[in-house]
Amino acid sequence: SESGAKKPRRIALVTLFPEMFDAVTQFGVSSRAVKQGLVEVRCWNPREFTSDRHQTVDARPYGGGPGMVMLVQPLRDAVQAAKAWAGECEVIYLSPQGRRFDQAAAQSFAAAPRNLVLVAGRYEGVDERFIDLEVDSEWSIGDYVLSGGELGAMVMIDAIARLIPGVLGHRQSAEQDSFTDGLLDCPHFTRPEVYTDGAQELPVPAVLASGDHERIRRWRLQQALGRTALRRPDLLQGKTLTEEQQRLLTDFRRDLEA
Ligand SMILES: Cc1cccc(C(=O)NCC2(NC(=O)c3cccc4nocc34)CCCC2)c1
């Protein structure tokens, strides 16, 4: 287009609770992406694709057992409507059986040109035939029991929207890049330089007030590495550390022993 602006990424949601998505369209970085026209978010409610008086979207499970299962037809018709809007898209069902969503997945979704149709389940889940007919991939945000897939869809929207070019300011995204290469974050401090509650005085680490940017960069990297090694050693598996990172981590561990 004349402004050189990229076409907005379209994210469609199929959900019984569209109002929940105000959380990502009205607040935070993802809402800025929407306001800037870089991302468009739209909801389709399966209940609007029912044809019975009671707008039935669920029914009892074959084989017995507790709870209800979402019917194929309203879900499928809602997905078809969402796909008509989303165009070239990937249909994703958020579910505990899905592949674990992580930063690498967020980066690949943000980089891919395809739009997304995110389907959130409720009740005990959806009729498996809907998944076979309409779903390209299943994704999970973690191993715990939730009441619906909507929070999973919002996690994906937030994580992906931040990575879409133009959404974050250059400084923030540069900051983000330095650490999302698989490390935990370093500690953060702000004023006052010495916090006191009357009983104790808690200063900010001197290095951060030193103004020595190279020393600060090294300290923050060492903290990120050390905290990752202590709290999430799994993130360091299979990660090749640079010479500098290895030295910083060794020093961190030695200081810990001291
Ligand atoms: C470990 C386990 C085993 C069995 C059921 C459940 C469970 O929570 N079932 C309920 C539903 N859970 C999710 O949708 C859901 C849950 C977790 C992460 C997710 N990431 O995306 C969507 C997610 C499925 C249909 C309605 C909600 C969880």
Mutate to test the pocket of ligand 1, among 75, 95, 100 (most ligand atoms within 8 A of CB): 95
CA of 70 to the centre of ligand 1 (A): 14
The amino acid present at 10, given as its one-letter code, is R
Residue 150 falls in the annotated catalytic set: no
**Given the residues 128, 175, 177, 244, the one annotated as active site:** 177
Pocket residues: Cβ below 6 A from ligand 1: 94-96, 121-122, 125, 140-149, 152
CA of 93 to the centre of ligand 1 (A): 11
Give the dihedral of Cα atoms 219, 223, 225, 229; nearest 10 deg: 150
User: What's the pLDDT at 1?
Assistant: 43
Q: How far is CA 196 from CA 107, 187, 189, 193, in A?
A: 41, 19, 14, 10
- Determine the atom of ligand 1 nearest the C-alpha atom of 153: 21
User: What's the pLDDT at 2?
Assistant: 46
Reported ipTM? 0.99
Which residues share a beta bridge with 203?
194
Spell out, as residue ranges, where the chain has pLDDT lower than 70. 1-5, 171, 173-180
> Which pTM does this prediction carry?
0.94
Positions of E strands within the chain: 9-14, 39-44, 58-59, 69-70, 89-100, 115-120, 137-140, 194-196, 201-203
User: What's the pLDDT at 171?
Assistant: 66
Angle at 120 between CA 115 and CA 124, to 5 degrees: 155
CA 10/CA 14 separation, integer angstroms: 13
Q: Which residue has the tokens 């970085």?
A: 29
